[in-house]
C-alpha cells in the first residue's frame, strides 16, 4: 500500500496553554498506526517552554562565549542553561542536552516566536511524545505513533535536516542484526535510525519557516523492531572525543 504523507494545515498560531493534540485532532482523521510528527517548537510554545530574553542574566561564561560568537549574551546563557556538556563554543555552541541529544545552540530558537522571547526544546522530549500519543488516543480512540522533531545541522554537510528528539509507540532504531540480505549474507549495516529518517521528511513537509505546517501525518508506514539507544556513550563517540580534545588546546 502506498504511503500517504499529510501536512497538517490550518492550525492557529499556537499559544501557551493550547491543547495541541486536540487542535491537531480537529484537522486530521487519524487511523490506527499513523505516525504523527510534531515540530518541537509548537509543542514547546503550547507548554510554555519559552523564556523572556529580558529576564535572563548572563553569567561570565555566557559573556565570554557571546563575545566570540557575536550573539546576545542572554541568548548564550539560555543555551548554556539548556546544556549539560559543551563540545564546541565557536563558531557556534555545540552541546549535549539532558536527553542525550547533541545539537547546535541546544535547539534554543528565536524564530517563529514573538520578539524578545526564546523557544527552548522540551526538557523531556520522550515524555512529550508519549503525552501527545496518549492525548490523541484519549481524544480520538486511535493508536498513533508520535515523533517530536527538531531541525539541526550535521557533520560534514551543509544545511539543516529534521531529526527526532522524542518518540513514542516505536523504537528509534530498526535493528537488522542477524537479518540476511538478498544473497543470504548476514547484513553488515544493521541499525537504521528510522525515527530520524521519518523526522527528516517531516521537516521537508513542514518547511524551514514552518509555513504554517507544524505537524505531519504518515499513513501506511511499516512497523519495525529495535531499540532506543540512539545516543552514543561519551566514550564510544569518536567525534565528540575529538572535539573535546581540541577544546583543551
Q: Is 174 helix (H, G, I), strand (E, B) or coil?
A: strand
* 56 vs 230, beta carbon nearer a second copy: 230
Min separation Cβ 136 and a second copy, Å = 19
In this structure, what DSSP letter does residue 150 have? E
Contact 34, 219 (CB under 8 A): yes
Min separation Cβ 6 and a second copy, Å = 5
* 138 vs 229, beta carbon nearer a second copy: 229
Min separation Cβ 55 and a second copy, Å = 19
Q: Is 56 helix (H, G, I), strand (E, B) or coil?
A: coil
Min separation Cβ 96 and a second copy, Å = 9
* 48 vs 180, beta carbon nearer a second copy: 180
Q: Which three cell numbers stand for residue 81?
A: 542553561
* 62 vs 194, beta carbon nearer a second copy: 194
Pairing of strands 35-39, 145-152: parallel
Return the residue matching grid coordinates 552514543: 232
Instruction: Name residue 81's beta-bridge partners.
Output: none
Going from the C-alpha of 189 to that of each of 176, 211, 229, 232, the distances in angstroms are 8, 36, 16, 17
Min separation Cβ 80 and a second copy, Å = 18
Q: Is 205 helix (H, G, I), strand (E, B) or coil?
A: helix
Min separation Cβ 217 and a second copy, Å = 9
* 55 vs 248, beta carbon nearer a second copy: 248
Q: Is 55 helix (H, G, I), strand (E, B) or coil?
A: helix
* 119 vs 128, beta carbon nearer a second copy: 119
Q: C-alpha angle with apex 233: 231 to 239, nearest 5 degrees?
A: 85
The three state secondary structure string of 98-128 is CCCCEEEHHHCECCCCCCCEEECCCCCHHHH
Amino acid at each position: 500500500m502506498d504511503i500517504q504523507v499529510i501536512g497538517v494545515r490550518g492550525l492557529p498560531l499556537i499559544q501557551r496553554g493550547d491543547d495541541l493534540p486536540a487542535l491537531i485532532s480537529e484537522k486530521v482523521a487519524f487511523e490506527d498506526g499513523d505516525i504523527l510528527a510534531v515540530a518541537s517548537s509548537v509543542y514547546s510554545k503550547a507548554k510554555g517552554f519559552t523564556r523572556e530574553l529580558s529576564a535572563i542574566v548572563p553569567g561570565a561564561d555566557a559573556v565570554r562565549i557571546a563575545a566570540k560568537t557575536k550573539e546576545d549574551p542572554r541568548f548564550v546563557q539560555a543555551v548554556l542553561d539548556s546544556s549539560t556538556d559543551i563540545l564546541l563554543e565557536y563558531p557556534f555552541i555545540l552541546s549535549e542536552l539532558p536527553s542525550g541529544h547533541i545539537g547546535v545552540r541546544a535547539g534554543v530558537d528565536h524564530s517563529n516566536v514573538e520578539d524578545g522571547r526564546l523557544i527552548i526544546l522540551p526538557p523531556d522530549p520522550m515524555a512529550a511524545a508519549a503525552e501527545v500519543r496518549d492525548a490523541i488516543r484519549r481524544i480520538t480512540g486511535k493508536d498513533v505513533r508520535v515523533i517530536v522533531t527538531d531541525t539541526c545541522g550535521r557533520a560534514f554537510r551543509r544545511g539543516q535536516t529534521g531529526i527526532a528528539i522524542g518518540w513514542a509507540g516505536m523504537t528509534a532504531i530498526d535493528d537488522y542484526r542477524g537479518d540476511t540480505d538478498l544473497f543470504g549474507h548476514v547484513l553488515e549495516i544493521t541499525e537504521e535510525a528510522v525515527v530520524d529518517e521519518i523526522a527528516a521528511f517531516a521537516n521537508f513537509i513542514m518547511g524551514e519557516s514552518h509555513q504554517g505546517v507544524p505537524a505531519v501525518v504518515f499513513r501506511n508506514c511499516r512497523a519495525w523492531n529495535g531499540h532506543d539507544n540512539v545516543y552514543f556513550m561519551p566514550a564510544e563517540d569518536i567525534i565528540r572525543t575529538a572535539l573535546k580534545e581540541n577544546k583543551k588546546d
